Amino acid sequence: MSATPPPAIGSQGAVGLRAELVAVVITVDEGHPRVLASGRPPQLPAGPLRQDHQSLQDGVRAFAARQTGHTLGYVEQLYTFADLGRGPGADRVVSISYLGLTRARDDVSAWMPIYDLLPWEDHRHICADAEPDRLLQEIETALGRWTRSDAALEEERRDRCAHVFGHGDHPWRPELALHRYELLWEAGLVGESPTGGHPSGLTGPSMLHDHRRILATGLSRLRSALQYRPVVFELMPQTFTLGQLQEAVEALAGQILHKQNFRRLVEQQHELVEPTGGTSRATGGRPAKLYRFRREVFTERQQVGTKLPLPRAR
Helices (H), the chain: 56-68, 114-117, 134-148, 154-165, 177-186, 200-203, 211-225, 242-253, 259-268, 295-304
User: Between β-strands 17-29 and 92-101, what pairing exists: parallel, antiparallel or unpaired?
Assistant: parallel
Instruction: Kindly report the CATH number assigned to the domain that includes residue 243.
Output: 1.10.10.10
Instruction: Kindly report the CATH number assigned to the domain that includes residue 44.
Output: 3.90.79.10
Q: Provide the domain limits for residue 276.
A: 230-304
**Above 90 in pLDDT, residue 157?**
yes
Q: Are residues 186 and 248 in the same domain?
A: no
pLDDT (average), residues 230-259: 90
The reply to whether 209 falls in a domain is: no
Residue 176 banded pLDDT, cuts 50, 70, 90: very high
**Above 60 in pLDDT, residue 305?**
no
Q: Count of domains in the chain?
A: 3
**Above 50 in pLDDT, residue 6?**
no
The reply to whether 65 falls in a domain is: yes
**DSSP-assigned beta bridge partners for residue 77:** 98
Please report, rounded to a whole number, the percentage of residues in the chain having pLDDT higher than 90: 38
User: Between β-strands 32-36 and 17-29, what pairing exists: parallel, antiparallel or unpaired?
Assistant: antiparallel
**DSSP-assigned beta bridge partners for residue 32:** 29
Tell me which of 188, 203, 218 is where a domain ends: 203
Q: What is the pLDDT of residue 60?
A: 76
pLDDT (average), residues 87-98: 78
The reply to whether 8 falls in a domain is: no
Least confident of 24-33, 196-205, 245-254: 196-205
The reply to whether 140 falls in a domain is: yes
Q: Which of 223, 210, 202 is nearest to 140 (CA)?
A: 202
Q: Are residues 21 and 77 in the same domain?
A: yes
The reply to whether 286 falls in a domain is: yes
Q: Are residues 194 and 272 in the same domain?
A: no
The reply to whether 225 falls in a domain is: no
Please report, rounded to a whole number, the percentage of residues in the chain having pLDDT higher than 70: 80
Q: Are residues 97 and 44 in the same domain?
A: yes
The reply to whether 105 falls in a domain is: yes
Q: Are residues 132 and 49 in the same domain?
A: no
Q: Are residues 234 and 265 in the same domain?
A: yes
User: Which residue would you say has higher pLDDT here, 83 or 52?
Assistant: 83
Q: Are residues 70 and 142 in the same domain?
A: no
Q: What is the pLDDT of residue 192?
A: 87
Query: For the packed helices 211-225 and 177-186, what is the interaxial angle rounded to 10 degrees?
Result: 150
pLDDT in tens, 35-66: 999 888 999 988 777 666 666 777 777 777 77
Q: Are residues 24 and 98 in the same domain?
A: yes
Q: Over the chain, what is the mean pLDDT?
A: 82
Q: Are residues 105 and 145 in the same domain?
A: no
Q: Are residues 74 and 124 in the same domain?
A: no
Q: Are residues 193 and 255 in the same domain?
A: no
**Above 90 in pLDDT, residue 304?**
no
Q: Are residues 175 and 195 in the same domain?
A: yes
The reply to whether 220 falls in a domain is: no
What is this structure's pTM? 0.86
Tell me which of 168, 203, 238 is where a domain ends: 203
Contact 216, 114 (CB under 8 A): no
Tell me which of 91, 114, 137 is where a domain ends: 114
Q: Is the C-alpha dihedral spanning 249, 250, 254, 259 positive or negative?
A: positive
pLDDT (average), residues 160-169: 94
**Above 90 in pLDDT, residue 149?**
yes
**Above 50 in pLDDT, residue 138?**
yes
Q: What is the pLDDT of residue 5?
A: 39
